[in-house]
Amino acid sequence: MSNNIVIAAVVAGAVGLGAGYALFSGQAPKTVEKETVTSAPAGAGTLDEVRARGKLNCIINTGLAGFAAPDDKGNWTGFDVDFCKAVAAAVLGDATKVNYTTATGKTRFTKLAAGEGEVLSRNTTWTFSRDVDLAQTFIGVNYYDGQGFMVPKSLGVKSAKGLDGASVCIQTGTTTELNLAEFFAGNNMKYNPVPIETNAEAQELYKSGRCDVYTTDASGLYATLMSFDNKDDHMVLPEVVSKEPLGPVVRHGDDQWADIVSWVLRAMMAAEEKGITSANVKELAAKDNKDKEINRLLGKDPLQGISKLGLSPDWAVNVISQVGNYAESFERNLYPLTIQRGLNALSKDGGLHYIPPIK
Question: How would you write 1-17 as a 3-class SS string?
Answer: CHHHHHHHHHHHHHHHH
* Cβ 277 to other proteins shortest distance, Å: 26
| Nearest CB to other proteins, comparing residues 206 and 315 | 206
Nearby residues of 352 by Cβ (< 8 Å), 6 or more positions away: 141, 144, 343, 344, 345
H or E segment to which residue 100 belongs: strand 98-103
3-state SS assignment for residue 24: helix
Between CA 333 and CA 222 the distance in angstroms is 12
24 lines the binding site for other proteins (CB under 8 A): yes
| Nearest CB to other proteins, comparing residues 199 and 322 | 199
Footprint of other proteins on residues 242-301 (CB under 8 A)? 252
Do 45 and 254 touch, CB atoms closer than 8 A? yes
H or E segment to which residue 235 belongs: strand 234-236
80 lines the binding site for other proteins (CB under 8 A): no
Among 45, 93, 146, 193, binds other proteins (CB under 8 A): 193
* Cβ 89 to other proteins shortest distance, Å: 19
40 lines the binding site for other proteins (CB under 8 A): yes
309 lines the binding site for other proteins (CB under 8 A): no
Q: Cβ atoms within 10 A of the Cβ of 269, count?
A: 21
| Nearest CB to other proteins, comparing residues 64 and 91 | 64
9 lines the binding site for other proteins (CB under 8 A): yes
Footprint of other proteins on residues 110-129 (CB under 8 A)? 110-111, 113-116, 129
Question: How would you write 56-85 as a 3-class SS string?
Answer: EEEEEECCECCCEEECCCCCEECHHHHHHH
Among 52, 74, 188, 283, binds other proteins (CB under 8 A): 74
**What's the CA angle centered on 212, arms 108 and 147, to 5 degrees?**
40
| Nearest CB to other proteins, comparing residues 28 and 286 | 28
Region of 166-174, 268-276, 322-330, 345-353 interacting with other proteins (CB under 8 A): 166-174
227 lines the binding site for other proteins (CB under 8 A): yes
233 lines the binding site for other proteins (CB under 8 A): no
